[in-house]
A and B are shown apart, each in its own frame.
Chain A
Amino acid sequence: MKVSVTLVGILAQYAGAPEVEIHLPEGARLADLHRVVGGRPGSRFPSEVWDPAAERFTACVRTFVGEEDVEDLSRPLASGDRVTLLTMIAGGLRPGFLPPNQRLTEKFPVLHLGPVPAIPEATWQFTVEGEVEAPIHLTRSDLQTLPRTVQRSDFHCVTGWSRLGDEWEGVRVRDVLALAIPTGRDGAGFALFLAEGGYTTDLALADATATDVLLAVKFNGAPLTPEHGGPVRLLVPSKYAYKSAKWVRGVVLSRERQLGYWESRGYSTSADPWKDDRYSR
């Protein structure tokens, strides 16, 4: 039988979709629905809402069949039932929990300029130069001495797909820049990030030093793979993802903005997904 399931707000984000249609054998019960929805490939329910051992949602997820709030998971289901799963502080219903003209995906497409470079961790270096008082060269072991941050962030590609709420781990760019001491008043206002293969991207210094901008080393708990920018990529969650340069190797601070690779080819330098700000004007 076919049952439609609505996931409200934050659960939709974990599921990768606000609505799913599932097929269950005749005689299936709510517990079976939990198992199928929670175990869907590509879903990323954290342990606070999903108990993988018991294969059911935890107590903070409420299950409605139609308008009835059902606490007994042995309740049988019927074909055509509409089931809603929610937490009490759930957040928005669809649509619109994405920036304009973006679609949600559970995949992580690989898009970049040129081939995937092979960068041994041992030889990786990151330089900070330009309008700084003390230019630096960080090695991978230097990077490991800096405080790590783990955060959940969204990722919006300018080609129109978005991933929501992935776990990223890394070092804040602001902490790295602070080591080099950007020159003060009338000094550094912009940052041009340099990556392997000649790719560049630019940010206002204020954007580059936002608390959620990372030199990311882990994605959903695992080291970043080379095709996703490993060993170290830039992560700028509040901008389209061409700002989140893969295989990042350094940054040059300057008084004047120097446009990056895509920014000098017609793409927006401010790149705010919530303003549909894709192209330079």
Chain B
Amino acid sequence: MSGYMGKLLWVDLTQGKIESLPLDGGLARDYIGGVGLGTRLVYDLVARDTDPLSPENHLVFAAGPLTGTTFPTSSRYEVCTRSPQTGIWLDAGASGKWGAELKRTGYDAIVIHGASPRPAYLLVTGETAELRDAADLWGQDAIEVQGYLRTRLGERALKVAAIGPAGERQVLITSIINDEGRVAGRGGAGAVMGSKKLKAIALRGRRQVPLARPEPFRQRVKEVLAALGRSPTSQALARWGTSANIDAAWITGDVPVQNWRRRAWKQGQARITSQKVADLVAQRYGACLYCPIKCSRWVRLEREGLSLDGPGPEYQTLATFGPLLLNDNLEVVLAANDLCNRYGLDTVSAGAAIAFAMEAYERGIVSPSEAGGLDLSWGNPRAILGLLRQMGERRGLGELLGQGVKRAAEVLGRGSQEFALHVKGMEPPMHDPRAFFAMAVNYATGPRGPDHMRGYALAHETGLWSKGAPASRFSDEGKGEGVRLAQDRSTMLNCLILCVFCGQALSVDDLAEVLTWTTGEPYTGGELLMVGERIVNLQRAFNLRCGVSGADDTLPPRLLRAAEEGGRVPDLARQLQDYYAARGWTADGVPTAQKLAELGLGGVSRDLGLEARGG
């Protein structure tokens, strides 16, 4: 089938064995690629009692059929596994150039299991795939190791995805970093690589992705480029990067302040703006492969005690290390972002863990001596950067915080659970469901935990990318169905794979047409959404097998109360009821045997014991 390279690379790190196996055409048809392919493989390969940090856990790096083509924003990959942070489903995606390079090596996905007896890295070229010794790479930060490998191998164009020292130490809130600062974040995929002693995957390929109908494909690429050029959202992203989110978020109350206690902070609003970020940026533009939007930024800063040369902060990082911590010093945000990238820490979870520690300190739950002599007052730069180093090096209070706020609060006790904000063990990203109500049920039901990228429910309430009038952001009406659709759609985009900033702007029928021209297989928009629905249901089944139940589909109590300034709160119970109904799930949040059969997941019913219960 065109669009695919037709092969999966299977790597057994325990045995040091690598083999190339054909991609099953039926699997490609039913799951498309990317997160879909990864979901089916991980569901089939990872048993319910598998410890995420054991050799038995699998790690799937998957590209999609559009990856490696010239379609705008298509150079992405998804990594799927069982999360060591949450113990449930995890997929994490990143852009850059690595995803396209994976296809150019001739593979659609790399499936990794086992654990190497010593540090290793995987080198895949068009001709060979081999495990190599990584003794001299172990301990290098996640950005420097990329340059080091390129120099050592004499391959300037080598594309590397790597973990940092935090991933090596199996800190649970760790990411995988590729292309000098694109990040597959959330949930601890970095720790899974660390547990397998796999430092990096380096790629070099020259193959072309075959297209079934190149001419209409190229014509559509031109049209999409022109449409992206006209789009106000693309223009704002091009000018200010994703930090363009924060100016409106201050006004709408979307950005959380001081560990989600507040929704406004005038001093921060004046000092943490996208323009002030732009003023600190050395190079205004940077782009992922085949992306006309160019939302990346490069920062160079030389100050006393601070020397930076790396990617600038995304919105999530800006909001986390800014208002969430009551920090109005942008240079500290940039330094924190750089530390996270180098250690390989997830910025949202790391920042949220620091917010948790600062609140614990304020309440006297963490003493100055427990803080290792750091003054954990809100916004203190030394505390922010000091705790990040502790987390990265797995020492002091950082050892605890690096496990995420849920586990940290369980160990700390003393009432700290009340302000440990998480859903299913993952800290929520920086969009407040009290400002956009659809985010409430989206966070509560997200397959990997609270999420804004898997189910961009905000779009449903803001008019972003939608033709019709947006749903009222302070209403619970229709949010169940809206979020179901948003989740299915986002999941489908992560199969193709396309970035949210391009994929959300296209209709599902347009996407189906592009996929048809790529693969030669006829698709309709309805079929694409059904693939998304199939994957969300399979991820739900994976989570049910891991012990999740409908009772876990909730929000931290603080997010179901008004912020200190007052304001409205969503009715989560009502939204959930609507959501389960829209999904065709039971009132307890379990997919019915009938729904699974409709989606071609009959075997999953048996796994969940639904048939015996009459589903």
Contact = CB atoms under 8 A, between A and B. Distances in A.
Interface of A: 8-11, 13-14, 46, 48-49, 58-62, 64, 67, 69, 71, 84, 86-97, 150-152, 165, 274
Contact of B273 (A59, A86, A92, A165): A92
Contacts of B248: 8-9, 62, 86-90
The 5 closest A-B pairs by CB, nearest first: A92-B275, A59-B463, A60-B463, A91-B236, A91-B244
B464 A8 contact: no
A46 B276 CA distance: 26
A151 B247 contact: no
A9 B233 contact: no
30 contacts: A9-B274, A10-B236, A10-B239, A46-B232, A49-B232, A58-B463, A59-B467, A60-B232, A69-B252, A86-B251, A87-B233, A87-B236, A87-B248, A87-B464, A88-B245, A88-B252, A88-B462, A89-B233, A89-B244, A89-B248, A90-B236, A90-B247, A93-B247, A93-B275, A96-B278, A97-B275, A150-B229, A152-B230, A152-B235, A274-B284
Nearest to A211: B292
Contact of B473 (A49, A69, A95): A69
A89 B463 contact: no
Contacts of A46: 230, 232
B463 A61 contact: yes
Interface of B: 226, 229-233, 235-237, 239-240, 242, 244-245, 247-248, 251-252, 273-276, 278-279, 284, 458, 462-470, 472-473
A151 B225 CA distance: 10
Contacts of A9: 236, 239-240, 244, 247-248, 274
A51 to B, nearest CB: 11
B252 A96 contact: no
Contact of A96 (B275, B462, B467): B275
Contacts of A69: 252, 473
B274 A152 contact: no
Contacts of A94: 275
Contacts of A10: 232, 235-236, 239, 244
A97 to B, nearest CB: 6
Contact of A93 (B273, B462, B467, B470): B273
Nearest to A274: B284
A8 B232 CA distance: 12
B464 A89 contact: yes
From DSSP, what is the main secondary structure of chain A's interface residues?
A: loop
Nearest to A14: B232
From DSSP, what is the main secondary structure of chain B's interface residues?
A: helix
Contacts of A48: 230-232
Given A9-B236, A60-B466, 15 more contacts: A9-B239, A9-B244, A9-B274, A10-B232, A46-B230, A48-B230, A48-B231, A62-B252, A88-B245, A91-B239, A92-B239, A92-B275, A96-B276, A97-B239, A274-B284
A61 B470 CA distance: 10
A95 B273 CA distance: 10
A59 B232 CA distance: 13
Contacts of B275: 91-97
A94 B463 CA distance: 24
Contacts of A90: 236, 244, 247-248
Contacts of B273: 92-93
Nearest to A64: B251
Nearest to B465: A60
Given A49-B232, A87-B232, A93-B275, A59 B239 contact: no
B226 A150 contact: yes
Contacts of B274: 9, 91-92
A232 B229 CA distance: 22
Contacts of A86: 247-248, 251
Which of B233, B464, B467 has the most chain A CB atoms inside 10 A of its CB? B233
A84 B231 CA distance: 21
Nearest to B269: A93
Contacts of B235: 10, 13, 152, 165
A78 B245 CA distance: 30
Contacts of A87: 232-233, 236, 248, 464
Contacts of B242: 89
A96 B273 CA distance: 11
Which of A64, A91, A95 has the most chain B CB atoms inside 10 A of its CB? A91
A152 to B, nearest CB: 6
A128 B585 CA distance: 68
Nearest to A92: B275
Contacts of A89: 233, 236-237, 242, 244-245, 248, 464
A143 B245 CA distance: 40
Which of B231, B235, B278, B466 has the most chain A CB atoms inside 10 A of its CB? B235
B474 to A, nearest CB: 8
Nearest to A95: B275
